[in-house]
Amino acid sequence: MTSDVPGIAANGLNMPALGLGTWQIAPETIAEIVPVALDAGYRHIDTAQIYGNEEAIGQALVDSGVDRSEVFLTTKVWPEHYAPNDLLASVRQSLERLKTDYVDLLLLHWPVFGGRGMNPTLEALLRARADGLARHVGISNFNIDQTEQAVAFCGPGTLATSQVEFHVYLGQERLKRVLARHNLVLTAYMPLAKAHSVNDPVLWEIGAQYGKTAPQVALRWLVEQDRVAAIPATSNPHHARANIDIFDFALSAEDQTRIARLARGMRLCQPDGLAPQWDD
């Protein structure tokens, strides 16, 4: 049995520290994995307009019988919908697909704004929240300078989280310090480094002390950090159950240090035309 997933509170947000990522998970697989995840104790599900699985997630949640208020649901606006009127229309379409009146968290997926700059899009994001389409708003894949600009425009306490790639092989120390200064949660996608961490001997050696696997150690290392959540994506029921089974042990300070030393700047997600100039 897994322990209850703790929540992370910041800027009015209360988000489960571990969620189910759904990138590259096909709709037919969503119908199978979401019930397993909910049964295992997940109450945080992350998707995006570009993933093509919002409708399947919405149907799976309806079919589950779990009350909507118990599930923290995130989606992300794709850059082609960043024009203010289009953004609001696209969010309403997402809500129709998700079969809900609101999402708990709405993010801008990539910092790609063309010649008009980011402020009109940020204003539309805030309008989505004001209109009740989203309870919280945030950003994704913004570098430090873009993050500072977004916070300055939106105002302190307005943005809730920044979703970025973060795992044992990619340190995010500078960005973490910036987010902490503004009280934003860092939500880690690809928290298992696309399965690179699965065979790491250091993680397995540490895990042996606790009766845990290398991926469980990698996830535990993330969620033990201040204001860090993780959203591992999987279509495997066994992995989904194992990924959430990380709240019944704690890493020693020595183990945390050993894991931190694994960082080597391994960035796995940097699509041409979307990725900004990273800080590391």
How far apart, in whole angstroms, are the C-alpha atoms of residue 276 and residue 255? Answer: 33
> Residue 148 in contact with residue 172, Cβ under 8 Å?
no
Instruction: Give the HSE-up count for residue 219: Cα atoms under 13 Å, Cβ half-sphere.
Output: 31
DSSP annotation string for 202-230 = HHHHHHHHHT--HHHHHHHHHHTSTTEEE
Residue-level pLDDT at 3: 43
Residues annotated catalytic, as ranges = 51
pTM here is 0.96
Segment 19-54, tens digit of pLDDT:
999 999 999 999 999 999 999 999 999 999 999 999
Segment 241-255, tens digit of pLDDT:
999 999 999 999 999
Range 7-193+227-235 has CATH code 3.20.20.60:
no
Per-domain boundaries in the chain = 7-193+227-235
> Among residues 83, 154, 147, 81, which one has the least CA distance to residue 115?
83
> Residue 76 in contact with residue 106, Cβ under 8 Å?
yes
How far apart, in whole angstroms, are the C-alpha atoms of residue 176 and residue 165? Answer: 12
Segment 125-140, tens digit of pLDDT:
999 999 999 999 999 9
Beta pairing class for 13-16 and 7-10:
antiparallel
> Residue 266 in contact with residue 278, Cβ under 8 Å?
no
**How many C-beta atoms surround the C-beta of residue 199 within 10 A?**
10
- What single-letter DSSP state applies at residue 136? E
Structure tokens at 161: 């989280």
How far apart, in whole angstroms, are the C-alpha atoms of residue 166 and residue 191? Answer: 6
